[in-house]
Structure 1
Amino acid sequence: MNLHQLRFVREAVRQNYNLTDAAKALFTSQPGVSKAIIELEEELGVDIFTRHGKRIRGLTEPGRLVLESVELIMQEIDSLKRIGKEYAAQDSGSFTIATTHTQARYTLPKVVQAFMVKFPKVRLSLLQGNPRQIAEMVQRDQADLAIATESIAGIDGLVTLPCYQWEHVVVVAPDHPLLKTKSVSLEEIAAFPLITYDGAFAGRSKIDHAFSLRGLKPDVLLEAIDADVIKTYVELGMGVGIIAGMAFDPERDRNLRAIPVGHLFGMNVSRVAVKQGAYLRSYIYTFIELLAPTLNRKLIEQAMRGEHENYEL
């Protein structure tokens, strides 16, 4: 049994049981991958994969257990490599953050700027996607951490901790009639065409749920993943916008006005997620503390050990 065999098994599953794609991903030959897997099965005395002819189709029942062990072993191997790299170079290396557009555009710039001042030798990468996609990036070791709203909480294999709370705001033109209302209602908002987020982003589910509870079916004219796009169409007079509060800047958005609506749609919590059992380099702890000062290294390490069930904002 060797590490190459374990890598081949893991990659075969990741490539949807396509050994040709697995071989390409690992820069080796397809026959070599196939032979190594067969040799591992013979050594273990069980079939890891179900087959149709020469093609593998899925995991057998013992194969699922084997894959779980393989994932744990490879994670520990990766951790050992990171430990060596960290102690060889304390303040340099690579760091990949997976996040949504809203976080990348409005929350992270100042945090990233402060981080790069502290760690100028670290090569930082930002990957964007919807919450499900960025969670998978962390699960597959394509990113060190993910940042999004509550939708990344409760995903298998991830440890998530709350960073900060935010509320939605309604954005309108400076002369819009909603600005005359002391406390805007859902019925008043629903009277206008709406421009807001795509269903997978920035608390959209809470918006839909609030209207549904009141039996309202607002006219959602346009959906987007980018608050700047939403604000642009509001400025054109096409409707009322609902965006994350962090995405409104009175100085930058001088042609718009914002109405806080946390009382209608509830508060949202942005969260940071890391892979369960992953080894985090010291500068990753520093980044998390810059993002959310309440999340110190001790608390994060407790969460990684499974001692975070009662921690919320």
Structure 2
Amino acid sequence: MRLQQLRYVLEIARQGNHLSAAAEALHTSQPGVSRQVQMLESELGFPIFQRTRNRIIGLTEPGEQVLEIAKRVVGDLGTLRILKDDVSAISRGTLVIATTHTQAKYVLPPVVSSFLKNFPDVQIVLKQGDPEGICSLVDAGEADIAIGTETAREFPNLVGLPCFELTRSVVAKVGHPILSAEHLTLEEVAQYPIITYDPRFAGETLHRRRWKVLGAFEQAGLEPRIVLSAIDADVCKTYVLMGLGIAIFASVSFDEKADVGLGIRDARHLFESSMTYLKLRSNAYLRPYTLEFIRRLAPHLTPDIVREALQNRGRGPTVQG
């Protein structure tokens, strides 16, 4: 007994017992279909179809049961094929992630490492840019997901899911007085030359058209002296080590082991934090391995929550953008 024979039985029934039509639909010959059905009947020991002068006119009583069994078997095979495709999609493919320098260097490495240990056949492609640029890549279909902070520009075709907050710190060369200040205040920070991110690249998004860091000083009536801005924290650190000023950037960008010669002070009480968002096209089909990567990045973003957000874009407190 072969699966092909059950398919032939199904197709003959679908075609109203017309053997020639069934053969055409199956892209085979009429004698071939007839022969396979006869072989199945011989194996079963009873006729499946009623015949008159070698023409099929209907199903026999046991043939009705064969048809129902054939439907289940062929249907289950289709389900198995879908499962096979999904399992294949989990274990093999390409995931294009658009993200900022801070996320790519300081947030994503442990996530990517953990993910690739379980999915070694998935190739990850990182495309870096500023928060608006990475959203544009996803919007244009050039990336699957974007991971970055808030944007001033709206992207109506994207759904944003909040992942986690990035707090800010003050970083200075070891021995700098700011590191030993009893209570870190904006007034104290404003006394020194400041090195920080270029707001376009930092996710220091314009809030009410103000850069968040600069806005904190302005609200306090202070005018800081920003001597240098760069597109990533590593460049800022280089100039801090040269003694040109103190830096203000995302706390996650500081590595105690690697950043020898530098010290850090938590400044979350002085500067508003930035929310890191995951951005997806609202009509995106997400492969299982993409959903798994998202879950590893932000455990609260389970596959069900992500799917629901895509289905109900624009509604509910968890959907932004």
Q: What TM-score, normalized by structure 2, do the two folds share?
A: 0.68
Matches within 5 A, 1:182-261: 182-204=182-204, 205-261=211-267
Question: In 2, distance between residues paired with 1:86 and 1:225?
Answer: 41
Hey, what's the Cα distance between the residues in 2 that align with 1:155 and 1:173?
40
Bigger drift between 94-103 and 144-153 goes to 144-153
In structure 2, distance between residues paired with 1:159 and 1:85: 29
Alpha carbons 1:166, 1:269 under 8 Å: kept: yes
Higher mean alpha-carbon deviation, 108-117 vs 153-162, is at 153-162
**Alignment pair present for 1:264 and 2:270:** yes
Secondary structure of the 2:199 match is: coil
> In structure 1, what is the equivalent of residue 301 of structure 2?
295
**TM-score, L = length of structure 1:** 0.69
Pair 1:166–1:172, CA change in 2 (3 A)? same
Amino acid at match of 1:310: P
**How far, CA to CA, are the matches of 1:290 and 1:152 in structure 2?**
27
Q: Which residue of 2 aligns with 1:50?
A: none
Distance in 1 (alpha carbons) for counterparts of 2:236 and 2:150: 22
Tell me which residue corresponds to 1:157: 157
Corresponding residue for 1:283? Answer: 289
Does 2:148 align with 1:141? no
1:235 CA drift (Å): 0.7
Change over 3 Å in CA distance of 1:86–1:246 after alignment to 2: farther
> By how many angstroms is 1:197 displaced?
0.2
* Separation (CA, whole Å) in 2 of partners of 1:110 and 1:85: 29
3-state SS, counterpart of residue 252 of structure 1: coil
Whether the 8 Å contact between 1:276 and 1:304 is mirrored in structure 2 is yes
Partner of 1:89: 88
Task: Kindly provide the amino acid, as one letter, of the partner of residue 243 in structure 2.
Answer: G
Q: Which residue of 1 aligns with 2:98?
A: 98
Gaps of 5+ in 2: 1-81, 205-210
Aligned equivalents of 1:182, 1:131: Cα separation in 2: 35
Give the percent of matched residue pairs that are identical in Structure 1 and Structure 2.
Answer: 41
Q: Which moved more, 1:153-162 or 1:237-246?
A: 153-162
User: What is the CA-CA distance between 1:254 and the residue it aligns to?
Assistant: 2.5
Q: Is the 8 A contact 2:166 2:251 kept in 1?
A: yes
Contact 2:131 2:203 in 1 (8 A): no
Task: Map Cα deviations across residues 233-290 of structure 1 (whole Å, 9 max, x no partner).
Answer: 1011000111110011111113111011111112221111100111010100000001
Matched position secondary structure for 1:175:
coil
Q: Which has the larger radius of gyration?
A: 2
1:116 matched residue in structure 2: 116
1:241 alignment partner AA: A
CA distance in 1, matches of 2:98, 2:240: 29
Distance between the aligned counterparts of 1:274 and 1:85, measured in 2?
A: 25
Question: Which moved further from structure 2: 238-247 or 145-154?
Answer: 145-154
Deviations along 1:162-200, one digit per CA (max 9) or x if unpaired, are 111121110012211112322211121111111000021
Aligned to 2:202, the other structure's residue is in SS state coil
CA distance in 2, matches of 1:192, 1:85: 61
Q: Within 5 Å, which residues of 2 pair with 1:10-25?
A: none
- Any stretches of 5+ residues in structure 1 without a counterpart? 1-82
Residue in 1 that maps onto 2:208: none
Alignment of 1:42-53 (within 5 A): none
Letter matched to residue 133 of structure 2 = Q
Would you say the 8 A contact 2:159–2:279 is kept in 1? yes
**CA spacing shift, 1:107–1:140, aligned 2, 3 Å:** same
Sort the Cα spacing of 1:277 and 1:153 in 2 relative to 1 into closer, same or farther, 3 A. Answer: farther
Q: In the alignment, residue 214 of structure 1 is paired with which amino acid?
A: A
Residue 174 (1) aligns with residue 182 (2): no
**How many residues of Structure 1 are paired with residues of Structure 2 in the alignment?**
230
| CA–CA separation in structure 2 for the residues paired with 1:88 and 1:148 | 29
- Supply the distance in 2 between the matched residues of 1:136 and 1:193 (Cα, whole angstroms): 34
Contact 1:159/1:273 (<8 A) preserved: yes
CA–CA distance in structure 2, aligned partners of residues 272 and 101 of structure 1 = 15
